[in-house]
Structure 1
Amino acid sequence: MGEAVAGIVANPASERDIQSLRSALRVAGVGRVMVWTDAGKIIGTVRRMVDAGASVIICLGNATMMRAAAAACGDVPLLMLPAGGADESAVAGLAAGLVATHQVDTDLVTNRATVLEVVTKARREIALTDVSVCSESRWDPASLTELYCTFAVPDGVGLSSIPGRLCPSPKSTVDGVAVSLGPVDETPYVVQAPIAPGEVRAVGVRGWSVLHAGVRVDLAAAGGSIALDGQPHFVLKPGESAFVELKPDGPWCVDVRAVMAEATRTGLLLGRKPAEVLPRPRLADARFPG
């Protein structure tokens, strides 16, 4: 069996995190680490990493980079990590290294994510968390009319926090959530939701329903704008149609907590010195004052 290979795609400004990942991967036994620090050409780069034998891909960056990595990694496990914390990077790197070296069973520590696919006549895009539709050509949270989420949890941050407070849908389920939105003075429900870090806003909700995997839903706002994972992405031309579909065949995502729990359970991170170099135990002989 050859050396274990891991790939890292990251923003060049994340040098500290990259070094932390490199170090942790080496500790876990990864022999070769391929690093790409250009925000462009991520899809082609990740595919080349996969072809070169990478058994795990780490994406350190924003939602745009993560979508590109998810679209290209195939069945190779993907660990998505927001940039910004070297401590978190160290643990994530160790977990990725244990996956890359097959020291943990990937079936136990990875989950197949669902993704949202948006299709128009001219394009096909994916979102990892949410697709939102705005009635205006300039995307504005105040003018949102439709929201589709792969999951929704009560403690989430971002647009998925809106259904997370109304109709939670955990990541462990295949189904997602569809939400109809409108002005707060015209809707039967108003949710106080953190739609972005540091921004809590009142959002008007007309209603919601389960979004089933494999069912195409036509978007109603022709001529409006569409955002992927909370980022404005493109504008629909007047009369242009589009649909969204929840697909169950997204990337295999590494669950860092599950990896570390399994490594602890099996003793992978526990080392012992040879008996002949251990100091003579003194605890039993110690006298306590009293």
Structure 2
Amino acid sequence: MGEAVAGIVANPASERDIQSLRSALRVAGVGRVMVWTESGKIIGTVRRMVDAGASVLICLGGDGMMRAAAAACGDVPLLMLPSGSTETLPEPTVAGLAAGLLATHQVDADLVTNRATVLEVVTKARREIALNDVSVCSESRWDPASLTELYCTFAVPDGIGLSSIPGRLCPSPKSTVDGVAVSLGPVEETPYVVQAPIAPGEVRAVGVRGWSVLHAGVRVDLAAAGGSIALDGEPHFVLKSGESAFVELKPDGPWCVDVRAVMAEATRTGLLLGRKPQGAFPASHLVDAPFTA
């Protein structure tokens, strides 16, 4: 077996985190680390990394970079570290160790990766994916106050962002294949009003007309002619009058690395110990073990 190869695509402002990742990957036994820190060309770069033999990819950046990496990584496990995320994320050194253990096949990928679902938006001229949500606004200038449709890959009660809207009405965990579709409108016209944290420090009253399960593989036409569409909360494109589009929840997204699962498996098998123990210590030994200052 040749040397283990890992790829990193990252925002150039994340130099310290990149160094932490590189150091941890080396400790785990990765022989070659490819790094890309330039803006643009992410899809082509990730594909070249895959062709060069990368057995794990790490993406450290914004939602646009994450979407591009997810679209290009194929079946190579992807570890995503969103910059500016409000979610609890693994520290880069720990993430690098986890990625390295996976790249060197010391941990079984089947035990520590999960296939994500993605939302694919298709128009006559383009095809784009979203990792978390697709939202439709009735205005050409995207505005949360004018949202009419929302589609999410998951929705949890303690979430933040647009998915927090269905998260308080019809939770759909990441572990399920199905997503959720929500019909929105002005608060004075809708039967439900949700107080949702759609962004850090911003809680809005959102009017909801209704919601339903979004099944994988089912195409839903978007009533967005003349309006705008956002991917993962970022305004992306405007549909001209008469132009059609549809969204589809697809179950064949990237294989995402569960850092906590990797480190738990490494601990269980003693991968990070200098000498593997012959057996577990009895509980009494843990209680009575002498301590010397």
Partner of 2:22: 22
Deviation at 1:245, TM superposition (A): 0.4
SS at match of 1:71: helix
CA contact (8 A) 2:90 2:259 kept: no
Partner of 2:35: 35
Partner of 1:51: 51
CA change 1:8–1:285 in 2 (3 A) is closer
Identity of aligned residues (%): 91
Q: Deviations over 1:237-284 (max 9, x none)?
A: 01111000001111000011111111111111222399xxxxxxxx98
Q: Deviations over 1:107-152 (max 9, x none)?
A: 0100011110001111111000000000000000000000000111
CA contact (8 A) 1:134 1:226 kept: yes
CA change 1:62–1:284 in 2 (3 A) is closer
Partner of 1:278: none
Distance in 1, matches of 2:260 and 2:291, equals 41
What root-mean-square deviation, in Å, do the aligned CA atoms of Structure 1 and Structure 2 show?
A: 2.1
Total equivalences in the alignment: 280
**Stretches of structure 1 lacking an aligned partner (at least 5 in a row):** 275-282
Distance in 1, matches of 2:169 and 2:51, equals 43
Structure whose alpha-carbon radius of gyration is higher: 1
Which of these residues, 249, 270, 273, is aligned with residue 270 of structure 1?
273
Partner of 1:107: 110
SS at match of 1:194: strand
Deviation at 1:221, TM superposition (A): 2.3
Partner of 2:188: 185
Deviation at 1:59, TM superposition (A): 0.4
CA contact (8 A) 1:14 1:84 kept: no
Partner of 2:242: 239
Instruction: Tell me the amino acid that sits aligned with residue 141 of structure 1.
Output: P
Alignment of 1:100-179 (within 5 A): 100-179=103-182
Partner of 2:8: 8
TM-score normalised according to structure 2 size: 0.92
CA change 1:286–1:205 in 2 (3 A) is closer
TM-score normalised according to structure 1 size: 0.93
Instruction: Tell me the amino acid that sits aligned with residue 24 of structure 2.
Output: A
**Stretches of structure 2 lacking an aligned partner (at least 5 in a row):** 278-286
SS at match of 1:270: coil
Partner of 2:79: 79
Distance in 1, matches of 2:231 and 2:59, equals 18
Distance in 1, matches of 2:43 and 2:158, equals 31
